[in-house]
Amino acid sequence: MFDSRHIRSFHEVVRTGSYSAAARSLGYTQPAITQQMKALERSVGTVLFTRVGRRMRLTEAGEALSRHAGVILGNIDAAQQQMNAITRLRTGRVRLCAFPSATATLIPEALARLARGHRGIRVELQECEPPESLRRLVHGEADVTLAFTYPGLREEVPDEVVEVPLMEDQLTVLMPTRHPMARRRSVRLADLSEERWIAGCLRCRANFLHECAEQGFAPDIAFTTDDNLVIQSLVSEGLGIAMMPGLVLNFLCHRSVTGRPLDPASRRQVSAYVLREHLRIPATALVLDELKAVAANRVGC
C-alpha cells in the first residue's frame, strides 16, 4: 500500500512543516515532494494535509499516519541494517546437519576456520544419518546437509537439491591389534568371510552386505549399532570386526584396535547438499566453502 520513499518524504514534511523545507532536507525539488504527497494521498484514499493561511496542518488521517511513520521508517532502517550485516557476512545463521563421523572430524575444523574470520555467523549443528538428513533438508529443517553414498547404492536427489562433492572416504576394516591380519598393509574382504562382524548404520550395513555378496559370502553379523565408539569397544574385546569409513580412524579411542584398508579399495562419496536457491545466501555459501577447504586436505583418507 505504501511506497517507503513517500513515507520518508511525508515524515520529513511533518518534521520541517513545509514541502519546501522537506525538499531541501531530502535533496529533492519542491515539485517532486508535492507529487510524492499527492501519490501518497491517492494510495491512502484521502487527503493528509490542509492549509490554514500559510501553514500546513495534518488532517485526522494525516495525524494517524504520522504516528506510524516514524515506526515504519525505523523498522525499514533496522531491516536494511540487518540485510547489510547478513550480506556482508557480519551475521547469519546456518543449520548444518551431518552424520557422526563428519561431526567428529570435518565439522569442527570447518567451524573453527569460520569462527576465526566470521564470528557473527551462527551455525546450529544437527546429527543425523542419511537418508533422514536429506529429508530434513528438503523439508526446510536444515540449510546444509552432509551425507554419504556408496557406488553400488546411489540415490536420486530432488531437482531442487544441489550436491557438492567433498571427498572420497576409503573403507577400512577395524580389527583387534592382535588379529593375524592386522600385520598386513591391506586386507581382502573375501579372506574375512569366516569372521564375526559388527554392522553399522542402515546405509553402511546395506553397502556391507552388497560388497560381501559380490565376494560370494553372507557375513555373520553378531552385533548392530550406529555408535562408532560402541563398535570400537566391541572390536577391542575381540567380539567381532567391522567395516568402517576411513574418517573413523581419526578418532580411534582404543589402542588395541587397528584399521586396515580394503584391497581392492572401496570408497564412499561424502558430499554436501543444499537447496539450489540457498546457494545465493552468503552465510550458506561461506559454510560450503569452509567444508570444501577442510575436505580437500582429507582426500584419500
> How many domains would you assign to the chain?
3
CATH for 49: 1.10.10.10
Cell matching residue 281:
545466501
The answer on 179 and 163 residing in a single domain is: no
Q: Which three cell numbers stand for residue 184?
A: 598386513
Q: Give the span between the Cα atoms of 231 and 242, in whole angstroms.
A: 7
Percent of the chain with pLDDT over 90: 55
| Range picked from 63-67, 121-125, 217-221 for highest mean pLDDT | 217-221
| 52 shares its domain with 96 | no
Per residue in 54-94, pLDDT (tens digit) is 778 899 898 999 988 888 887 777 666 666 555 555 567 88
Average pLDDT value over all residues in the chain: 88
Do 247 and 293 belong to one domain? no
Greatest CA separation for the chain:
105
pLDDT at 168: 93
pLDDT of 157:
83
**Which residue type does 258 have?**
T
Answer yes or no: do 190 and 260 share one domain.
Answer: yes
Helix, coil or strand: residue 75: helix
- 82 and 124, same domain (yes or no): yes
Peptide bond into 282 cis (omega under 30): no
Contacts of 46 (CB under 8 A, 6+ apart): 59, 61
Quick one: 76 and 62 in the same domain?
no
User: Are both 229 and 251 inside the same structural domain?
Assistant: yes
Q: What is the pLDDT of residue 163?
A: 94
Q: What is the pLDDT of residues 162-177, one digit of tens each?
A: 999 999 999 999 999 9
**Residue 245 in contact with residue 172, Cβ under 8 Å?**
yes
Same domain, 61 and 85: no
The CATH number of the domain where 181 resides is what? Answer: 3.40.190.10
Confidence of residue 3 (pLDDT cuts 50, 70, 90): confident
DSSP state at residue 181: G
In three state form, how does the secondary structure of 244-265 look? EEHHHHHHCCCCCEEEEEECCC
81 and 227 share a domain? no
- Domain final position from 23, 43, 66: 66
Domain identity same for 144 and 121:
yes
* Alpha carbons 74 and 68: distance in angstroms, whole number: 10
Q: What's the predicted TM-score (pTM) here?
A: 0.69
Higher pLDDT, 69 or 154: 69
Q: What is the pLDDT of residue 83?
A: 64
| Residues 222/178, Cβ–Cβ less than 8 Å | no
pLDDT confidence of residue 300: 42
Q: Which domain holds residue 286?
A: 68-167+269-297
Gap between the Cα atoms of 105 and 112, Å rounded? 12
Would the CA dihedral through 30, 32, 38, 43 be positive or negative? negative
Q: What is the pLDDT of residues 176-206, one digit of tens each?
A: 999 999 999 999 999 999 999 999 888 899 9
Strand 121-127 to strand 92-98: parallel, antiparallel, or no bridges (unpaired)? parallel
Q: Are residues 100 and 59 in the same domain?
A: no
- 199 and 260 inside one domain: yes
Cis check: omega of the bond before 165, within 30 degrees of 0: no
